[in-house]
């Protein structure tokens, strides 16, 4: 930093009238704020708290990137407060004290990143990434508790079995079991993340979500779906409907070419899907009859390896309603659905 004593003949840029010496007995003039600061104070006195903070930040020399970040975070808070139906742009302008053009620019970026989702033509609500921030993490022992299930399933059918959980718009593989068949289709490994729904387990989890979360997740993943065997949002919606009707998922030729997989959601005792299990093999090994056999094998393995949940009746119908299993995230209880 340059020294103030570097030149006695040059007035320092930050010197104010109050800093000049005064004659004895006279009162020094009060310090006067710079014009930009006075303007920001006048604006802040009349504007909303959000606009006031932005104006003050501008006068204080806060970089534009920080102001944009602040406004983006405030916009996320506003759409979250708007609930599932969301808010219109005019309501967001009123809430944040910003112009329409600014709101639209922020919305465009936040929608692209998955933090905001459009509802219909005019409303905006929280996107899947916001839900992921609020989503409680999977129990730390969930992979260990599901590993025996995978081992039983894999031993029964000979193919590789996988367990995944949801992370916002993505699926995350937490466990895998290799089978005994000479040809193993190891489509993913532990730690793999991919768009929710392009694999069988992810499709089972996606289908278990409420309609608005399904729509938001598909919208968030839309830019990359085509990389998975030409998947499209419309195709994904069809697969979700079919999975809900069947009670378990089937998907082929998307995550991996010439591979077909069967998946089933694992629910907690409140009925919420917390994980999913899938079995993958070649298309030739997965005719319709074997798909049904694999689905029954998964359900039976879940019931056999984990104790029945209290107050939950076991049901074995594979084609009716929500086929799956219920697992307690507290005491390990599980029951057939």
Q: Which helix (H) or strand (E) holds 142?
A: helix 142-157
Place of tokens 């879940």: 302
114/125 Cα distance (integer angstroms):
11
Tokens of 224: 């990359």
pTM: 0.60
- Domains of the chain, each with CATH number or no CATH: 36-126 (1.10.10.10), 142-336 (3.30.450.40)
91-148 residue pLDDT tens: 999 888 999 999 999 999 998 887 888 888 889 988 777 766 656 566 678 899 999 9
274/271 Cα distance (integer angstroms):
9
Phi-psi region of 117 (alpha: psi -120 to 50; beta: other; left: phi over 0): beta
Which stretches of the chain score pLDDT less than 70? 1-64, 131-139, 255, 306-337
The pLDDT of residue 135 is: 60
Q: What is the largest CA-CA distance in the chain?
A: 103
């Amino acid at each position: 930093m340059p020294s103030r004593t570097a030149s006695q003949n040059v007035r320092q840029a930050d010197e104010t009238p109050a800093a000049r010496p005064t004659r004895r007995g006279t009162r020094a003039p009060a310090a006067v704020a710079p014009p930009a600061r006075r303007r920001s104070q006048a604006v802040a006195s009349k504007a909303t708290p959000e606009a006031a903070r932005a104006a003050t930040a501008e006068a204080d020399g806060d970089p534009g990137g920080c102001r944009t970040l602040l406004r983006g975070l405030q916009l996320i808070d506003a759409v979250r407060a708007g609930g599932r139906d969301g808010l219109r742009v005019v309501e967001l302008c009123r809430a944040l004290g910003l112009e329409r053009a600014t709101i639209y620019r922020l919305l465009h970026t936040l929608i692209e990143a998955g933090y905001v989702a459009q509802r219909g033509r005019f409303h905006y609500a929280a996107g899947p990434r916001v839900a992921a921030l609020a989503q409680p993490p999977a129990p730390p022992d969930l992979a260990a508790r599901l590993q025996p299930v995978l081992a039983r399933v894999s031993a029964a059918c000979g193919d590789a079995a996988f367990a995944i959980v949801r992370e916002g718009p993505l699926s995350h593989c937490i466990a895998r079991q290799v089978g005994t068949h000479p040809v193993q289709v190891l489509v993913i490994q532990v730690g793999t993340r991919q768009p929710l729904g392009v694999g069988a387990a992810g499709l089972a989890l996606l289908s278990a979500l409420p309609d608005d979360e399904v729509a938001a997740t598909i919208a968030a993943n839309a830019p990359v779906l085509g990389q998975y065997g030409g998947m499209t949002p419309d195709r994904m919606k069809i697969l979700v409907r079919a999975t809900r009707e069947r009670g378990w998922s089937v998907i082929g030729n998307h995550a991996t070419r010439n591979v077909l997989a069967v998946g089933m959601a694992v629910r907690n005792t409140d009925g919420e899907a917390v994980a999913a299990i899938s079995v993958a093999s070649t298309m030739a090994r997965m005719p319709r009859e074997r798909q049904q056999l694999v689905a029954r094998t998964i359900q039976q393995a879940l019931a056999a390896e984990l104790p029945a949940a209290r107050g939950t009746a076991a049901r074995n119908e594979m084609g009716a309603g929500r086929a799956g299993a219920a697992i307690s995230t507290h005491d390990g209880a599980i029951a057939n659905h």
